[in-house]
Structure 1
Amino acid sequence: MALMPTHLSTPPLTVGFDLDMTLVDSRPGIRATYEVLAAETGTHIDADLAVTRLGPPLEQELAFWFPEDRVQEMGDRYREIYPTYAITPTLALPGAREAVAAVRAAGGRAVVVTAKHEPNAKLHLAHLGIEPDAVVGWLWAEAKAEALREYGASVYVGDHVGDVRGARAAGALSVAVPTGPCDAAELREAGADVVLDDLVAFPAWLGGYREAARA
């Protein structure tokens, strides 16, 4: 039996991206949503503190402010009001659109894998004109590996040590940006393979990565 040429069996380039504080600065919208939730419930929530801890699932943050038996209810309410208060104020981070476009221009697929409620993640991306090939929500840290493996991602880009762990669990190259709550030293210590200043540097890095892969 003749062997297939190697170049025909090479999987397509697939790059995963985190959402909050990697592609988008969602702090203004999240802060506003927490403030509305606090007003509705009469519960003190330090929204300024909460937005410094973005990355883990919502329920982890809500557990600081509500008793355990109310966390799920408050999470449901937060997600319900989120589109009204959080989408418009959220901004694309510098280089976000260009990073996703660079993957697609290289003939690859860009997949957003986030811990955020998936419908709200899609609203953010549509509002900001960022166009990945797929969006997968509700996955945090090592659980992100499920989607990364499903889509065959060889690279995962994120801002949190949880994103580094997700990439490593999937056997993907971890590319980190210190644009969220974790600084460059924390990301390197967690095992990031590459740390870029921000996504502005990503297209040039991707070009070098692809060139090295062809060598």
Structure 2
Amino acid sequence: MADMASTTAPAPLTVGFDLDMTLIDSRPGIHACYRALSERTGTYIDADLAVTRLGPPLAEELINWFPESEIAAMSDLYRSMYPSIAIAATPAMAGAREAIDAVRAAGGRAVVVTAKYEPNAKLHLEHLGIRPDEVVGDLWAEQKAEALREHGAGVYVGDHVGDVRGARKADALSVAVATGPCSTEELASAGADVVLGDLTEFPGWLDGYRPARA
């Protein structure tokens, strides 16, 4: 009788990707949107500082500038202003399209799982011509594990230690890119299985991962 372990095919390849500072450089658009929100409300917001700590949900940044009782309203206002201000100002990260293409070339599926408001996340991807198989928004850190499991992602690529925690909770391989607010050392210390300089290194890594996985 054949050894079952040698005849069982691996599960289909599904790779999850974070959005902000992983697939897109959201700093210019978010910076402009915070400045517009500041002007609209008459409330000081240090946009330069805010864009150095992207990753967590919007409310976690707004609480630094508005009373807690106003956070829900300010979040709604920010999100309503966002499409006309931030979308066109936001470029793709180096290697973003090639990373998605590499997953497809390997016969896999690409799923974006992000803390960003889902309608705005989809607008970014549509504007840039990046077309993953699925987009799931409004999930941060460990919350991302739910979507990663639902879509069968065996790999999750992100730039933040929160992304590492989400991958590990989902029992997915954590591939970190040092293109966001977290250093290579921070990502490794958080438990990332692989740390890349940026997404331009991802296709080469994936080529090596596939034979090892098979």
TM-score by length of 2: 0.96
- Pairwise CA distance, 1:131: 1.1
Distance 1:112 1:91 in 2: 17
Match runs of 1:157-172 below 5 Å: 157-172=157-172
- Pairwise CA distance, 1:107: 0.6
Name the CA shift for 1:46/1:110 in 2 (closer, same or farther; >3 Å).
Answer: same
- Pairwise CA distance, 1:11: 2.0
| Matched residue, 2:29 | 29
Distance 1:5 1:124 in 2: 42
- Pairwise CA distance, 1:213: 1.1
Matched, 1:76 2:103: no
Distance 1:212 1:5 in 2: 15
Is the 8 Å Cα contact of residues 25 and 93 (structure 2) preserved in structure 1?
A: yes
Matched, 1:120 2:124: no
Distance 1:149 1:207 in 2: 23
Counterpart amino acid of 1:157?
A: V
Distance 2:161 2:146 in 1: 17
| Matched residue, 1:18 | 18
| Matched residue, 1:155 | 155
| Matched residue, 2:176 | 176
- SS of 2:22's partner is coil
Where structure 2 has 5 or more consecutive residues not aligned to the other structure, the ranges are: none
- SS of 1:91's partner is coil
- SS of 2:64's partner is coil
> Deviations 1:119-160 (Å, cap 9, x if unpaired)?
000000011111100000000000000000000000000000
Root-mean-square deviation over aligned CA pairs: 1.5
Counterpart amino acid of 2:174?
A: S
Distance 2:7 2:117 in 1: 38
Distance 1:98 1:10 in 2: 24
> Deviations 1:161-183 (Å, cap 9, x if unpaired)?
00000000000000001100000
Distance 1:182 1:166 in 2: 15
> Deviations 1:103-131 (Å, cap 9, x if unpaired)?
01111000000000000000000111111
Match runs of 1:83-162 below 5 Å: 83-162=83-162
| Matched residue, 1:55 | 55
TM-score by length of 1: 0.96
Where structure 1 has 5 or more consecutive residues not aligned to the other structure, the ranges are: none
- Pairwise CA distance, 1:5: 10
Distance 2:56 2:96 in 1: 21
Distance 2:143 2:122 in 1: 19
Is the 8 Å Cα contact of residues 10 and 213 (structure 2) preserved in structure 1?
A: no
| Matched residue, 1:39 | 39
- Pairwise CA distance, 1:19: 0.2
